[in-house]
Amino acid sequence: MAEVIRELISEEKVDARIRELGEQISKDYAGESVHLVCILKGACIFMCDLAKRIRVPLSMDFMTVSSYGSGTQSSGIVRIKKDLDDPIKGLNVLIVEDIVDSGRTLHYLTEVFKERGCKSVRTCTLLDKPERRVVDLDVDYVGFMIPNQFVVGYGMDYDQRYRDLPFIGVVEFTEE
């Protein structure tokens, strides 16, 4: 079996959409500042590009989470592997994700951050697979809705590979 990556969303489309998200976020937080929280590793490229398009004062922090279970399916238990460096009390937190699938990660983090006393918590994701949702979650900023396909590139991996691709692609397996 050979792997090929089929382009789903081009580099140009990703770039244009991030500019739009930056505009919207800048309007919504006008007169305020925003604290971007990157969910590593998948969201790192997206968050850096998004930050360049936001025109209100901002700060950044980084977190690593994992959701694991006994089998191949996620158990829905989200664990913080690397916590934020700094307290978020009183800040306008914007959680930045690469992709929302079941919704458990963002749902859990939103609750945790509210308990830490931030002024506001909103969520931003580059991609959303709404068909896969198992928890009730409204994401505030969504780059693109996509069908239920496994995607890579622009920070997202398959077995730690393909994060460096400048576009978003679907992994396909072919007989060689």
Q: Of 101, 128, 138, 140, which one is the catalytic site residue?
A: 101
Contact pick of 100, 109, 121, 126 for ligand IMP (by CB under 6 A): 100
Contact pick of 18, 37, 42, 78 for Mg ion (by CB under 5 A): 42
Residue 150 is a binding residue for ligand IMP (CB under 6 A): yes
Q: For this structure, is 157 an active site residue?
A: no
Stretch binding ligand IMP (CB under 6 A), from 4-12, 18-26, 102-110, 161-169: 102-110
As a whole number of angstroms, the distance between CA 147 and CA 129 comes to 6
Choice between 55 and 82, CB closer to ligand IMP: 82
Q: Are 98 and 39 in contact (CB under 8 A)?
A: yes
Quick one: 9 exposed, middle or buried, by C-beta within 10 A (0-12, 13-18, 19+)?
buried
DSSP state of 161: B
Q: In angstroms, what is the minimal distance from the CB of 53 to ligand IMP?
A: 21
Residue 102's DSSP bridge partners are: none
As a whole number of angstroms, the distance between CA 152 and CA 141 comes to 20
Q: Is 130 helix (H, G, I), strand (E, B) or coil?
A: helix
Binding stretches for Mg ion (CB under 5 A): 42
Binding stretches for ligand IMP (CB under 6 A): 39, 42, 67, 74, 97-105, 150-151, 156
Catalytic residues: 101
